[in-house]
Amino acid sequence: MLFLWLYMFYSCAGSCAGLTTRGSPAPPRVAPPLSPLLPGEPGEESSLEEQRAAPDAGSPISSFFNGSGTKRLPQAIIIGVKKGGTRALLEFLRVHPDVRAVGAEPHFFDRNYERGLAWYRDLMPKTLEGQITMEKTPSYFVTKEAPARISSMSKDTKLIVVVRDPVTRAISDYTQTLSKKPDIPTFESLTFKNRTTGLIDTSWSAIQIGIYAKHLENWLLYFPIGQILFVSGERLISDPAGELGRVQDFLGLKRIITDKHFYFNKTKGFPCLKKAEGSSKPHCLGKTKGRTHPDIDQEVVQRLRDFYRPFNMKFYQMTGQDFGWD
């Protein structure tokens, strides 16, 4: 039936054009360029403008398969945390045929809220009945206003938080900043307000983000704990299929993403997709992921572990999960 429809479509495209202007030659037909399913380079952030333009572009065939559907507000959002593994989780989830997600981070509930929900919805890809619309912006988790704003949009929104050992996360955060600003102070000097007394500087965002229990308290004022899924950044590396199984269950999706979708890249030190969305080729996250961390004074690392320990214990109690950080 599909092939019959396509045959009729192209037959009419050639013959019907001449019927509209009898006696004059039909203008030459120029095929519109094909548009990739993943705007921008694989694994890298693409601009919001690219995201807004991509879903509606393409040939008649791609429009037939991808152009239909409706732009909806997201039913699920990956809200955090920075340097926890959110990009990996989003790319893995996009393999699922019932997940449609924005590639770029919209930053709607922290930076662009004044633009309104219509602007936000317009960023979303088109979805068919039964598909889930998603986005990820890791800074939402630490944005005080975000829980109330998301709840105002929909109290039923499913939230996903990817968490990672807060000490490792802080070092990864610093490493990212260092790659952009090589002249910043050392990690050790930024960690303390006073190194002699060992007073940790909790105003430094790299440290502050990792106090997960504090941020979670704010979210629980607006969402029940059962509406938030906590994904282990460590298990996302060691057992990606296992963590993706939990995520698919949480989202009410059939478990389609399994071990067969992954292989471990020893050079990068984390799993990669055998086939990415819209591609038949293997796909690893971009060069900005998996950076080598600088050597940090082990005494400083131990002081940070001591600092985070009580917050971690509280976080375990709040979530009912022991993430094994120490």
Question: Which residues are annotated as part of the binding site?
Answer: 83-87, 164, 172, 289-293
Dist CA 195 CA 188 (whole Å): 8
Answer left, alpha or beta for residue 165, where phi above 0 means left and psi between -120 and 50 means alpha.
beta
CB atoms within 10 A of CB 199: 13
Feature table: binding site for 3'-phosphoadenylyl sulfate? 83-87, 164, 172, 289-293
Asked whether the beta carbons of 140 and 110 are under 8 A apart, the reply is: yes
- The DSSP output letter for 57 is -
Choose the catalytic residue: 71, 82, 83, 158: 83
Task: For residue 181, give the amino acid letter.
Answer: K
- Angle among Cα 188, 192, 195 to the nearest 5 degrees reads 85
Q: For residue 267, what are the contacts with CB-CB under 8 A and spacing of at least 6?
A: none
Cβ-count burial of 239 within 10 angstroms (0-12 exposed, 13-18 middle, 19+ buried)?
A: middle
CA atoms within 13 A on the CB side of 41: 6
State the alpha helices, DSSP H only, in the chain: 2-20, 48-53, 60-62, 86-93, 117-123, 146-153, 166-180, 187-191, 205-208, 212-219, 233-238, 240-250, 298-319
Is it true that the peptide bond before 81 is cis, omega within 30 degrees of 0? Answer: yes
Note if 287 is an active site residue: no
Q: Which residues are catalytic?
A: 83
